């Protein structure tokens, strides 16, 4: 699914669209993280700043010239997942760069965490994994924009999240 399809499902998003491509240093991010990121995420990031849907789900989007903060935030979340794994509280999930490792892309105001489950086939094959604050782990077999559009349209159940998320007409806020 594309960013355009997400915009159709979530028209409130358009208020935050950048007037021009945001020129994020993807090469630097890829080098620092050891991987490229999914193309739907890079497309979304080139058009939008960091976003929050219904004051609940925050999407971590790098800011041009401040990519180091995105990288350091990602590393901190990977360290937290590593600590959970080492304490036996990750249900067998491992942090990237371990094979099949998780790479964070968002969080919620309730403490839920959102990850990509990485694969050797490349970033556009990665699936979405939600680590709910109640220790439920739910997978969506699709990409980020497909997941978000599905949550908004109701086609994707909010597994691991509050059952009333998102609302009927979700709000969108940006940094």
Of 165, 160, 155, 173, residue with least CA distance to 1: 155
Average confidence score pLDDT of the chain: 95
Give CA angle at 34 (29, 40), nearest 5°: 60
**Across the chain, which distance is largest between two alpha carbons, in Å?**
46
State how far the Cα of 154 lies from the Cα of 165, in Å rounded to an integer: 10
Question: What is the mean pLDDT of the segment spanning 140-157?
Answer: 95
Question: What is the mean pLDDT of the segment spanning 29-45?
Answer: 98
Q: At 126, phi and psi to the nearest 5?
A: -65, 145
Whether the predicted model's global pTM rises above the 0.85 cut: yes
State how far the Cα of 48 lies from the Cα of 64, in Å rounded to an integer: 11
52: left (phi over 0), alpha (psi -120 to 50) or beta: beta
Per residue in 52-111, pLDDT (tens digit) is 999 999 999 999 999 999 999 999 999 999 999 999 999 999 999 999 999 999 999 999
| Whole-number pLDDT of residue 20 | 94
CATH number of the domain located at residue range(s) 3-174 in this protein: 3.40.1580
pLDDT at 38 > cutoff 90: yes
User: pLDDT over 90 for what percent of the chain?
Assistant: 92
């Amino acid at each position: 699914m594309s960013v355009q399809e997400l915009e159709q499902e979530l028209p409130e998003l358009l208020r935050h669209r950048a007037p021009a491509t945001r020129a994020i240093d993807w090469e630097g991010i890829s080098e620092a993280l050891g991987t490229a990121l999914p193309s739907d995420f890079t497309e979304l990031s080139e058009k939008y700043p960091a976003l929050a849907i219904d004051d609940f789900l925050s999407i971590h989007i790098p800011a041009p010239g401040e990519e180091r903060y995105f990288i350091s935030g990602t590393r901190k979340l990977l360290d937290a997942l590593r600590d959970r794994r080492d304490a036996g509280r990750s249900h067998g999930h491992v942090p990237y760069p371990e094979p099949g490792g998780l790479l964070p892309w968002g969080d919620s105001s309730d403490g839920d965490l959102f990850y990509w489950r990485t694969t050797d086939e490349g970033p556009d094959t990665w699936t979405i994994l939600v680590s709910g604050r109640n220790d439920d782990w739910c997978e969506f077999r699709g990409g980020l924009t497909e997941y978000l559009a599905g949550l908004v349209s109701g086609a994707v159940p909010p597994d691991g999240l509050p059952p009333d998320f998102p609302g009927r007409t979700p709000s969108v806020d940006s940094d």
